[in-house]
Amino acid sequence: MRDFTLKSYQSLLVAFQQAGYQFQTFEELITHPKDGKSVTMRHDVDELAWNALKIAQLENKLGVRATYFFRIVKQSNVPEVIKQIVELGHEIGYHYEDLALAEGDEAKAMKTFEENLNYFRKYYPVRSVCMHGSSTSKYDNRLLWKDHSLSDYGLVGEPYLSVDFDKIFYLTDTGYAWDGGKFATRDIVESNFGLSFHKTSQIVDCIKAGNFPEKALILAHTLWTDNRMQWDGLHIREFFRNNLKLLARNNPMIERFYKKIVEMYWKK
């Protein structure tokens, strides 16, 4: 069976529900965490915003509320999609990359951060933000919070700053695998759960067996699709991207090449 389809995503949600897990948004996880078994589905809408809407519709059908972090770039920031996801009852947050876009100029980044946050607040009372990894930039967007505090901007949480990953199990679908963390540049957290999965069905089996942690935060991007052509195309792209990222780490020429491709991709 193909993985990372809406069908396999549904099997994951249903497994959680059947095992007695409650779903909560990221804001709820920070401000009113539920007792007992609970899971937060976080979606970073890096691109393919219309896929996010399909995921949001599926969750809504199952009575699940999730959190969608949108970037300011046009591949993510699609007003029609944001509006519909709000209507489906999900939380919206800002997936910021201001420090990378400002080439490290902190004052400029703080200014655009505030403007962009206010922009997303036209759609939803945003209280959560989450850094975008900006893997080809030398600037780590989180450094914005070195000299500033979330609460000054009416914010309650940032996944990389506000979550204790020794208490909350963190899983991410980087590069079409649940153990693809080796391809990530910044989206890495340390934890001591000692669990590792490759396929979604392995997570489902673990939940069914009662071995899955009681609290979890799961990051799923927008690459999940039932469209066979899109699924094939994205798998090929991710395969090359993962390998290029690894090669680029030790080879400056490949690094420059990879950076160029990424820049071209986001400019189109």
Q: Which positions touch Zn ion (CB under 5 A)?
A: 44, 46, 132
For Zn ion, the closer CB: 38 or 137: 137
**Orientation angle between helical segments 6-18 and 49-61, nearest 10 degrees:** 30
Cβ-based nearer residue to Zn ion, 47 or 205: 47
Q: Is the CB of 44 or the CB of 158 nearer to Zn ion?
A: 44
CB closest to Zn ion, residue no: 132
Cβ atoms of residues 212 and 206 within 8 Å: yes
Shortest distance, CB of residue 266 to Zn ion, whole angstroms?
12
Smaller CB distance to Zn ion: residue 47 or 179?
Answer: 47
To Zn ion, the closest distance from the beta carbon of 43 in angstroms equals 10
Minimal distance, residue 81 CB to Zn ion, in Å:
16
CB of 46 to Zn ion, least distance (A): 4
CB of 68 to Zn ion, least distance (A): 12
Task: Please say which residue, 132 or 245, places its beta carbon nearer to Zn ion.
Answer: 132
